[in-house]
Amino acid sequence: SDEAFTPPTGTSTGREVVAIYNYTAQYSDELTFSEGEILQILEEVDDNWYHGVCQDKVGIFPKTYVREP
């Protein structure tokens, strides 16, 4: 049924983006991901960074490493 998936509460956008490059976290609050992975945006931090989720981990990641699907 369509009710099997419920998005987490508190998400402001819920937008999904696709990683276009591999990214390795430089700091503990950043996400590490691989090209082709799907990330969910929780919020925009500033002009360069998103706060979001990848593989059940939450952190920030650079906007230039992802694109709209």
Instruction: Locate 58 and state its tokens.
Output: 């939450």
Q: How many domains does the chain have?
A: 1
Given strand 49-54, what is the order of strands in its sheet? Answer: 57-62, 49-54, 38-44, 16-19, 66-67
Domain span at residue 19? 2-67
pLDDT in tens, 5-47: 555 554 455 799 999 999 999 999 999 999 999 999 999 999 9
What integer pLDDT is reported at residue 62 of this predicted model? 98
CATH code of the domain covering residue 44: 2.30.30.40
Tell me the DSSP string of 24-61.
--SSTTB--B-TT-EEEEEEE-SSSEEEEEETTEEEEE
Structural contact between residues 66 and 50, judged by C-beta atoms closer than 8 angstroms: yes
